Amino acid sequence: MTLRIGTRGSALALAQAGRVVASLEAAGTAAELVVVRTEGDVSHASLASIGGTGVFAGALRRSLAEGGCDLVVHSLKDLPVQPAAGLVVVAVPEREDPRDALCSRGPGLAELPAGARVGTGSPRRRAQLLERRPDLEVVDLRGNVDSRLRRVVDGGLDAVLLSVAGLTRLGRQDAITEVLPLEDWPTAAGQGALALEVRAEDARHLAGAAATPIGAAAAGLDHPDTHDAVVAERTVLGELQAGCVAPIGVASRLEPARARIWASVHRPDGGARVQRSVEVLLADVPAGGRGATLTQAARALAADLVAHGAADLAPLGATA
């Protein structure tokens, strides 16, 4: 049996899905890529105006539900918090670096001249940039990684903000000027991680039934610590009822004996933010209970954010 792996057709999506194919084949399962065209790939409008990054996931999910492929590979940060009917995220492979990177002609963020033009398509990154450097001109930016980097080389922009994970997967670490510290600059929930989604009938082993070949192959790529961490991060978004276009950063760090989750909610213009964190002791928590413990902590963190005024800053209450 050859698994059909659904993916977007961008260079980054193909690189990500190609890693999944390589991992499956290394484990003895033949696989091939099926490219799915999405509205986000053909529209030049801003992501916020066409529904946020969830537009990428929608087409992939439709292809999976209709039998066009057996498994889809999502960038987890682009996956809506709400599950899709009849589909299940069965595995989250080990995460790549979740941080953001500034790619400029040389200066770091603090050294960019007043009025410098910085490109990003992310409302979160826009708010974080303007909070730290209100003197910058933040330019809405679409396109693949290479086209965004060319905007800096060709002189149209002074810098762009991209994910370290995406640059790494494309072998473009050379373009990074500065990596922004996760402690001060929490990124999108799930950034750096991939999600492998299958039809529910192929994930029935999660309920104790016999695994299908598709579900078993996909589940073999799961990295439990990464899976637990990203579920906790996404729980913060879910509790806040925050959609893809909400300017919210969420990050986590898991260690053998403890974990920390932190999040920041920003006013879109960068004029204010609420940032809170929670720590959890894990030394006495059995391995199978870590996920539930982290999820409970994430809910408490979301409640703390709301108690400190997060709902007054960001467009919460409408998930995407």
Give the catalytic positions in this structure: 78
Beta strands in the chain (DSSP E): 2-7, 30-35, 71-75, 87-91, 100-104, 117-120, 137-140, 159-163, 178-179, 194-199, 248-254, 258-266, 273-281
* Closest to 52 measured CA to CA, from 123, 110, 105: 123
Torsion over CA: 41, 43, 47, 52 (sign): negative
State the amino acid at position 213 in one-letter form. Answer: P
* Closest to 75 measured CA to CA, from 20, 22, 148, 146: 20
Number of neighbours of residue 66 by Cβ within 10 angstroms: 8
SS3 130: helix
